[in-house]
Amino acid sequence: MKVEVKKITEMSTKELLTIIEERVKVFVVEQNCPYQEVDKADEDALHLQLKENEVLVGYTRIIECDNYVTFGRVLIVKEYRAKKLGSQLVEETLNEIKINFPGKEIKISAQHYLLDFYKTFGFDPISDVYLEDSIPHVDMLLKVN
């Protein structure tokens, strides 16, 4: 697996369209959740792609906020989900955050069913469960050492 991290301005049109297509497939179509999938945060985000033979298999976007860093749009392309690449994708994302934003805490809005998954990386819940786009979520924090 190869990891590529780029700003939108560094991507080819094909790369960007592939990412948008996969994000819409997962977060709008599969989850049956109509919302503004592409937004202003994409302009400044770092877009992490996990690729196998130049084919997108996983993706996250990393966003720097004032006092913390967040990541989201975490996805594994449907055809690759049986390979259990989610942990590798999150590990690569956390490594990239440590390189680009050293010392900043990492705060995420996780879908509630993934609470235990994110706990394995050291995240702790910091909110009650709430609905975001009709999907139960919980805020989680990974403190830096």
For the chain, domains (ranges, CATH) are 2-102 (3.40.630.30)
Mean pLDDT of 10-24: 95
Q: Report pTM.
A: 0.92
Q: Kindly state the tokens that stand for 27.
A: 């977060």
CA 18/CA 130 separation, integer angstroms: 31
pLDDT reading at 100 higher than 90: yes
- Residues 35-60 have pLDDT tens digits of 878 899 999 999 999 999 999 999 99
CA 114/CA 76 separation, integer angstroms: 14
pLDDT reading at 145 higher than 80: no
Sign of the torsion angle spanned by Cα atoms 37, 76, 108, 135: positive
State the pLDDT at residue 48.
98
Contact assessment for residue 6 and residue 47, using Cβ atoms and an 8 Å cutoff: yes
Contact assessment for residue 117 and residue 19, using Cβ atoms and an 8 Å cutoff: no
Mean pLDDT of 130-145: 89
Q: Would you call 121 helix, strand, or coil by DSSP?
A: coil
Average pLDDT over all residues of the chain: 93
CA 71/CA 118 separation, integer angstroms: 12
